């Protein structure tokens, strides 16, 4: 496949995932948690890198940087999916956390600083895979497309 076609596919993939996230938020009414937001930034970077790589195909590192952006969002998505499944702890500012041993004042402070949307709850899933999981899987595929674009002549 031609290099520009691969770059276009990778860029469009990140754009589709980012637009989907916004669709779930603004049309579907699913407010994002902190880690959901973290997954969006690398897609934005990948889109910018894709536009640059499409405009300047001779700049060889751009597809590799696109692969790095896609790998970053895939990694955050995998981490987030693991938090949702209870495989490991998430950030204390985004999950339920342990309240044992807290004084009433400390407990009130934790309640008041708790996020509105928790990172350890699954608001939507398809085929048993959460949005974070889908982002991880699809973004991992985009990494392969970016690498193929980098290798193409």
97-148 pLDDT, tens digit each: 555 666 777 766 766 665 567 777 778 788 988 888 999 999 999 999 999 9
Does any domain span residue 98?
no
* Count of residues in the chain: 153
Does any domain span residue 93?
no
Exposure b/e, 131-150, CB count within 10 A at least 16 = b: bbbbbbebbbebbebbbbbb
Which pair of structure tokens corresponds to residue 139? 């973004």
19-48 pLDDT, tens digit each: 999 998 999 988 888 888 999 999 999 999
Does any domain span residue 94?
no
72-95 pLDDT, tens digit each: 999 999 998 988 888 888 787 776
- Mean per-residue pLDDT for 52-59? 87
Question: What counts of helices (H) and strands (E) characterise the chain?
Answer: 5, 2
Expressed as residue numbers, the domain containing 46 is 3-86+105-151
Residue 84 has a pLDDT of 85
Stated pTM of the model:
0.80
Does any domain span residue 15?
yes
Q: Could you tell me the CATH number of the domain that includes residue 66?
A: 1.20.1550.10
Residue 32 near residue 117, CB atoms below 8 Å = yes
Does any domain span residue 44?
yes
Q: What is the dihedral of CA 132, 137, 140, 141, to 10 degrees?
A: -140
């Amino acid at each position: 496949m031609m290099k520009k076609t691969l770059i276009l596919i990778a860029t469009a993939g990140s754009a589709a995932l980012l637009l989907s996230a916004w669709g779930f938020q603004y049309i579907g009414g699913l407010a994002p948690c902190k880690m959901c937001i973290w997954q969006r930034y690398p897609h934005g970077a990948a889109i910018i890198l894709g536009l640059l790589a499409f405009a300047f195909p001779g700049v060889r590192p751009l597809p590799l940087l696109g692969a790095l952006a896609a790998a970053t969002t895939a990694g955050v998505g995998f981490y987030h999916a693991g938090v949702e499944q209870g495989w490991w702890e998430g950030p204390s500012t985004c999950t339920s956390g342990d309240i044992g041993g807290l004084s009433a004042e400390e407990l009130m402070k934790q309640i008041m600083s708790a996020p509105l949307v928790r990172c350890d709850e699954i608001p939507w899933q398809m085929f048993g895979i959460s949005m974070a999981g889908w982002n991880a899987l699809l973004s991992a595929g985009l990494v392969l497309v970016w690498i193929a674009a980098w290798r193409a002549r």
